[in-house]
Structure 1
Amino acid sequence: MTIFGAIGVAGTGMTVTRKWMDAVGDNIANANTVTATSEEAFRTRYVIAQEMTGGDGGVQVAGVQLGSAEGRLVHDPDHPLADANGYVRHPDVDMSSQMTQLIMAQRGYQANAAVVTRATESYQAALQIGRS
Structure 2
Amino acid sequence: MTFDAIGIAGTGLTLHRKWLDAVSDNLANMNTATSGDDEAFQARYVLAQAGEGTTGVYVAGAAYGDAEGRLVYEPDHPLANAEGYVRYPEIDMASQMGQLILAQRGYQANAAVVDRAKETYTAAIQIGRA
- When the two structures are superposed, what TM-score results if normalisation uses the length of structure 2? 0.98
| Deviations 1:69-119 (CA, angstroms, capped at 9, x unpaired) | 000001111101112221100000100000000000000000000000000
Paired with 2:9 and 2:115, the residues of 1 have a C-alpha distance of: 10
For residue 127 of structure 1, the aligned residue among 121, 125, 128 is 125
Name the CA distance, whole Å, in 2 between partners of 1:9 and 1:19.
16
- State the Cα deviation string for residues 10-61 of structure 1 (Å, max 9, x = none): 000000000000000000010110000111000000000000114x320000
Runs of 4 or more above 4 Å deviation: none
Q: Secondary structure at the match of 1:62?
A: strand
The residue aligned with 1:93 is: 91
- 1:26 corresponds to: 25
SS at match of 2:62: strand
Identity of aligned residues (%): 65
Aligned residue identity for 2:22: A
Task: List aligned pairs for 1:37-116, cutoff 5 A.
Answer: 37-54=36-53, 56-116=54-114
Distance in 2 between residues matched to 1:57 and 1:10, nearest whole Å: 10
Aligned-residue RMSD, C-alpha: 0.7
Q: Secondary structure in 2 aligned to 1:80?
A: coil
Query: Aligned equivalents of 1:106 and 1:9: distance in 2?
Result: 17
Counting matched residue pairs gives 130
Distance in 2, Cα, partners of 1:113 & 1:42: 32
**Long gaps (5+) in structure 1:** none
Q: What is the rounded CA distance, in whole Å, between the counterparts of 1:74 and 1:37 in structure 2?
A: 8
The one-letter amino acid paired with 1:113 is A
Matched letter for residue 47 of structure 1: V
